[in-house]
Structure 1
């Protein structure tokens, strides 16, 4: 998919790095405000709920890439953000729901639990929201004429609208809206969930957190914030991310596949029309595949951070592998690296962070992560300039 190609993703690196800076700046300035700009505050711990910060980071990254907007602030844009987040939450709930009709096909004409009615309602809301975005971009494109082209455009909607000019049948508005939904659904949840799980695991393993910071400090230093060009040098950070993916895959059960014909798989006869579910969570914790499978051991991925990573199914596999995997990894690495580089982190109290999972299609933490943080002393001069 050209929109998720390496070159296209690289075009938006600066935008992603800017959002990471804004997240770090927000955490730092909220601390300053909490302590009333007390000069001694830099050595004091303050309590932070991380999930809202991570959600804002990833949500704004995806919306800037897709539609050229960042949903943060007051007024109409903030109202659009609330409307969109409400739609996405409802879509996520519906994707993770099951009905009796799934198991008793002869009842498919009867909407016992009202799921189909909810799907129709949310589709109408979603369609209206995305159509307004497409119309806004089309209007801007027409008004700006030749100055708005595929090379200078900074959003996926603009890119697809340019393609629509040359091939209107392949890129009609319905296709554009479908691509937008796929990008936002696939790109937001996995990155948010993974960063929160990674921070939770690191808080329970302080030595691993320190090791990750030492790697960042050694390769990036303290004269600037980490950026995407550093990614290839941060092998241990990649190992932390892989181990987080292994223990807590964002989508624990890969989206179902339906057999298009009778076939045999691993000795099992599968009839045409059979729905097959792949339990990535269980496979990732299989003792035959992973030594000490339930423990958090990033070192298992070797010095390059990739050894054995081909056994992971966090983005599916084969022809239907998630095309947004590369983008998700970049966002996770940037977000997690920025948090580790800029701040020291501690648990609130002596008890380990609760790692209970929330039931559903996505494997969120049941309890949002709360932690203590303070700026790392070598980074204060950079944080003050943000």
Structure 2
């Protein structure tokens, strides 16, 4: 699309997360912000300029075939319809559509892939726990078919592994910035109107006053703590575990993200044994950014666990 590949788009979105999470001098000394001494603002504008033609072409292709949109409506078609129905309220329709689409794509791709990468890292670092997860898969699903999304509810240990991963390594360690509309007092602290607020989910989910052995990877703890983090009805009631935020400002894609992380991790564990290369100690250091990547990309040696026919005919 527009001279740029999907892989390049993914790289640009990854770059935008790094830039948004960078420490800017202007955030602490406001009058320096307009000088852009570190070049972050310039770099973010360059990312947007590269993404814009790609997204514009997608919007144009949907408009070129309105009949197809009626027969098989997708998310872009819905945005186009909403923009047209609210024409006066949305003067720059294309910018509105492209901004929403990029937000949805970026928020749902990087975070889910990071959660899967951290889950595999933790399991490779704790092979005994990986073995338990694979034994559950073998017991409930077997090795004669590929695990399906409908199987996830019966994979209780796998669910606990995912929750424990998100507790230790939330994809958004500080969630997303919020702003106080009015002045208020929280915990005895006065917060003026217009204050940018960050919630340290990483620290909350490692609080020793709430969690036993908080730095240890112990999926079994969730057999005792019945915490639902992807249920819209329960979010906001269990503040010890908030990888998706809480309340009305919680992540709207939490259920989809949990679904994708569970089924992807389940298939990776069912299909392969995972080993650290050369028997070395796995580096578990955290990187820096708006999200929380590994400091170094995960490297692994994999060994097939299933009959060859399942790899050839596995569902997409």
Same fold at TM > 0.5: yes
Task: State yes or no: 1:354 paired with 2:273.
Answer: no
| Matched residue SS, 1:91 | helix
Give unmatched runs, 5+ long, in structure 1. Answer: 1-75
Q: CA RMSD in A?
A: 2.3
Please name the residue that 1:381 is paired with.
309
Please name the residue that 1:56 is paired with.
none
- Kept after mapping to 2: 8 A contact 1:134/1:157: yes
Q: Give the TM-score of the pair, scaled to structure 2.
A: 0.87
Please name the residue that 1:72 is paired with.
none
- The 2-side partners of 1:195 and 1:166 are apart by 39
Q: 1:169 to 1:208 in 2, by over 3 A?
A: farther
Q: Report the Cα offset of residue 83 of structure 1.
A: 3.3
Please name the residue that 2:220 is paired with.
299
Please name the residue that 1:372 is paired with.
301
Q: Report the Cα offset of residue 183 of structure 1.
A: 0.9
Q: Give the TM-score of the pair, scaled to structure 1.
A: 0.72
- Kept after mapping to 2: 8 A contact 1:239/1:299: yes
- The 1-side partners of 2:42 and 2:311 are apart by 49
Please name the residue that 2:118 is paired with.
197
- Kept after mapping to 1: 8 A contact 2:119/2:165: yes
| Matched residue SS, 2:274 | strand
Q: 1:219 to 1:125 in 2, by over 3 A?
A: same
Q: 1:200 to 1:104 in 2, by over 3 A?
A: same
Q: Report the Cα offset of residue 245 of structure 1.
A: 0.3
1:118-129 alignment runs, 5 A limit: 118-129=43-54
Q: Report the Cα offset of residue 170 of structure 1.
A: 5.8
Please name the residue that 2:17 is paired with.
92
Q: Report the Cα offset of residue 169 of structure 1.
A: 4.6
1:155-304 alignment runs, 5 A limit: 155-169=74-88, 172-302=93-223
| Matched residue SS, 2:199 | strand
Q: Tell me which of the two structures has the higher relative contact order, counting C-alpha pairs closer than 8 angstroms and 6 or more residues apart.
A: 1
1:130-149 alignment runs, 5 A limit: 130-141=55-66, 145=67, 147-149=68-70
Q: 1:233 to 1:120 in 2, by over 3 A?
A: same
Q: Report the Cα offset of residue 384 of structure 1.
A: 4.1
- The 1-side partners of 2:217 and 2:156 are apart by 16
Please name the residue that 2:234 is paired with.
none
Deviations 1:232-273 (A, max 9, x none): 221211110000001111111122222222210011112223
- Kept after mapping to 2: 8 A contact 1:197/1:244: yes
Alignment length, in residue pairs? 303
- The 1-side partners of 2:181 and 2:290 are apart by 24
Q: Report the Cα offset of residue 199 of structure 1.
A: 0.7
- The 2-side partners of 1:100 and 1:190 are apart by 26
- Kept after mapping to 2: 8 A contact 1:238/1:306: no
